[in-house]
Amino acid sequence: MRFSRVTCSVLPLLSCLYSVASAAWTVPKEYALTASPDGHFFQKSDRSPFFWQGDTAWLLFHRLNFTEAEMYLSDRASKGFTIVLAVGLTQIGIASPNRAGDLPFVNQDPTKPNEAYWAYIDSIAELAWSYGIRIALVPCWGQYIHDSAGNPSVINGTTAYTFGKFIGDRYPYLPKILVADTNPLWENKTAVIDDFAAGGVIPQYKHQDWRPIYDDLANGIVAGERQVTSNRAWNPLMTIHPTNLWFNGLPIALASAQIGDRDWLTMDACQSGHTDFPPDGPIPWWNARRPWEPVGLMYATGQTTSGKKRPAVDNEAHYENRYDDGKSAYFYWNASDVRTGTWQSVSPVFLGRSMDLIEA
């Protein structure tokens, strides 16, 4: 384990000096994934194709102990999963300890990682790798940038770059998915919902633009990875996890539509979600029974945007055994629904149908 000293000094009296350990496990170069030469697919460092068969285990690092993580990962490996999406600073709270009782940060300050918490994440990432499973890391959930109403939080203009650099330095080569359950362009969702309840009138709310914070986080990650890999040209696979909320006048929920002009966005993403809306949803490109629609749209966007071809993934589809729309009054998605959706998201037959929709 290597130790490096970090000095921070906000005010002379509050200045602090502490040690940050670098990762207990050094991520091997072979971990890296990049886009294939035509921009559409994933490839490994030896240029062989990589098939992204992902599972979302958002709370893997937070809720499971080592034995449970091993049981879960060995099960996923036996079923052919190649990647697991998991979160560093999770949605269950900055003040909520992991199974060993460790918190992510000292004094809830995202620029002061608590070594024990991240060392445990290192050990699970290493364990996953021993099963041939990569981790796609969500450094922090969306609520730490802003809440539903649009109030800022702890990952902000002061802290995002430093936190990003810590993540990049410690977890080079892991694909990164910036935040979740939110979009970089936002309206006051609380107010929109209140208005719906009060009669369905939707006034135009002021759009908030959180993209500068995303940029800080992403630029910190890229800087950290370039430093630790001594590769000044390295760009990790990185995307955002847009949610399906659709507000008037804002781009649809594809990473490329919301923040597509950034060089750090090296992968496109959508969320086909957990809800069936027969026959059609209120929001375009959002139906858990038709995941090929947003996936096909991303494929088409990548094809037509010069210099911006990117591999695309559906970051969050229906979960096996989760109720439709999360409501127990409805049916739940079963294993064959999930398999069908997976197939539809990669099958040329279905992606071709999506092209027809785009052209129509």
Ligand X SMILES: *[C@@H]1O[C@H](CO)[C@@H](O)[C@H](O)[C@H]1NC(C)=O
Q: 16-21 and 3-8 as β-strands: parallel, antiparallel, unpaired?
A: antiparallel
Least Å distance, CB 196 to ligand X, is 12
Smallest gap from residue 124 Cβ to ligand X (A) = 12
Q: Which stretch binds ligand X (CB under 6 A): 11-19, 188-196, 246-254, 303-311?
A: 188-196
What does residue 126 show for φ and ψ, rounded to 5 degrees?
-65, -40
Radius of gyration over every alpha carbon of the chain, rounded to an integer in angstroms? 20
By the rule CB under 6 A, 230 interacts with ligand X:
no
Residues 40-69 that bind ligand X (CB under 6 A): 65-68
How far apart CA 279 and CA 221 sit, in angstroms, is 42
* String marking each residue 315-334 x if it binds ligand X according to CB under 6 A: -------------------x
Burial of 124 (0-12, 13-18, 19+ CB in 10 A): buried
Q: Rounded distance, CA 263 to CA 219, Å?
A: 10
Q: Binder to ligand X among 15, 130, 158, 321 (CB under 6 A)?
A: 158
352, 296, 316: which is closest to 244 by C-alpha?
Answer: 316
Angstrom distance (rounded) from CA 332 to CA 321: 6
Range 148-157 burial, b when 16+ CB lie within 10 A, else e: bebeebbbbe
Applying CB under 6 A, among 188, 272, 287, 315 the residue interacting with ligand X is: 188
Going 160 to 151 to 175 to 94, the CA torsion angle's sign is: positive
Give the interface segment with ligand X, choosing from 13-21, 24-32, 187-195, 295-303 (CB under 6 A).
187-195
Using a 10 angstrom Cβ sphere, with 0-12 exposed, 13-18 middle and 19 or more buried, the burial of residue 161 is buried
Does 357 engage in binding with ligand X (CB under 6 A)?
no
Q: For residues 125-154, which are near ligand X according to CB under 6 A?
A: 149-152, 154
Using the rule CB under 6 A, is 243 a contact of ligand X? no
20 touches ligand X by CB under 6 A: no
CA distance 338 to 318: 7
- Residue 243 tokens read as 């949610």
Which of 90, 98, 143, 159 is in the footprint of ligand X by CB under 6 A?
Answer: 159
Whole-number minimum distance, CB 120 to ligand X, in Å?
11
Q: Near ligand X by CB under 6 A, which window of 190-198, 227-235, 246-254, 293-301?
A: 190-198
Which residue has its beta carbon closest to ligand X?
Answer: 191
* Cβ-based nearer residue to ligand X, 151 or 303: 151
**Residue 41: is it exposed, middle or buried by C-beta count within 10 angstroms (0-12/13-18/19+)?**
middle
Distance CA(175)–CA(39), nearest Å, equals 16
Work out how close the CB of 38 gets to ligand X at its nearest, in angstroms, rounded to a whole number: 35
Is position 336 an interface residue for ligand X (rule: CB under 6 A)?
Answer: yes
Helix (H) or strand (E) holding 49: strand 49-50
As measured in angstroms, the least distance from the Cβ of 36 to ligand X is: 34
- 248 contributes a contact to ligand X by CB under 6 A: no
Among 22, 156, 227, 342, binds ligand X (CB under 6 A): 156
Q: Which is nearer to ligand X, 29 or 339 (CB)?
A: 339
Interface with ligand X (CB under 6 A), residue from 39, 45, 77, 109: 109
* Smallest separation, CB 159 to ligand X (Å): 5
d(CA 103, CA 97) in angstroms, rounded, equals 5
Could you say whether residue 110 binds ligand X (CB under 6 A)? yes
Interface contacts to ligand X, rule CB under 6 A: 65-68, 109-110, 149-152, 154, 156-159, 188, 190-191, 194, 334, 336-337
